[in-house]
């Protein structure tokens, strides 16, 4: 317990000693800029790799199905190996439309409420959540 108190006191003292004439001394703009760029590059790499993976998976599924049809395999085995995709592609499209519409509305609201800051991040979070909530509402309504 004493160690934690000493550590927090030392950290508090070091924060108080970090007094500069900048209005926001604890924010390093270069770090934030680099962090956002690294996250964007990783996101783009993830999107490209998942797209390539989806293409390869679709190609292998097609080849497997065509081989099974060529060899006239028993229906029980075909039923076990070749099951239809459970994901409705229209639901996936609707999910992307709602999420991207939420992002668009978020950017629009952020543009109207300048200057940019922490409230901009909150606006974006609520707009994306609202878009996904709208998707959930549409899915629940379509099930009825």
Q: How many domains does the chain have?
A: 2
Residue 21's pLDDT band (boundaries 50, 70, 90)? Answer: low
Could you tell me if 2 and 72 lie in one domain? Answer: yes
**Mean local confidence (pLDDT), 93-110:** 89
Residue span of the structural domain in which 119 resides:
86-144
Check whether residue 21 and residue 32 sit in a common domain: yes
The reply to whether 2 and 37 lie within a common domain is yes
pLDDT digits (tens, 9 = 90+) for 33-50: 888 888 888 888 888 888
Same domain, 20 and 63: yes
Q: What is the pLDDT of residue 19?
A: 54
Q: Bigger pLDDT: 94 or 20?
A: 94
Split at pLDDT 50, 70, 90, the class of 105 is: very high
* Average pLDDT for 86-112: 85
Does residue 48 sit in the same domain as residue 5? yes
Query: Averaged over 80-97, what is the pLDDT?
Result: 75
My answer on whether 74 and 9 are in the same domain is yes
Residue bearing the bigger pLDDT, 99 or 117? 99
**Tokens read off for 13:** 């003292």
3-state secondary structure of 109: helix
Q: Which of 131, 66, 65 is nearest to 94 (CA)?
A: 131
């Amino acid at each position: 317990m004493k160690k934690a108190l000493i550590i927090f006191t030392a950290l508090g003292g070091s924060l108080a000693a970090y007094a500069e004439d900048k209005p926001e001394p604890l924010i390093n703009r270069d770090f934030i800029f680099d962090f956002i760029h690294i996250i964007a590059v990783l996101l783009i790499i993830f999107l490209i790799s998942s797209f390539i993976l989806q293409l390869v998976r679709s190609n292998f599924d097609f080849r497997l199905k065509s081989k099974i049809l060529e060899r006239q395999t028993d229906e029980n085995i075909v039923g076990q190996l070749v099951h239809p995709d459970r994901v409705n592609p229209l639901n996936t499209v609707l999910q992307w439309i709602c999420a991207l519409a939420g992002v668009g509305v978020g950017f629009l609201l952020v543009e109207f409420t300048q200057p940019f800051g922490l409230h901009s991040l909150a606006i974006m979070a609520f707009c994306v959540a609202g878009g996904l909530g709208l998707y959930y509402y549409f899915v629940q309504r379509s099930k009825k």
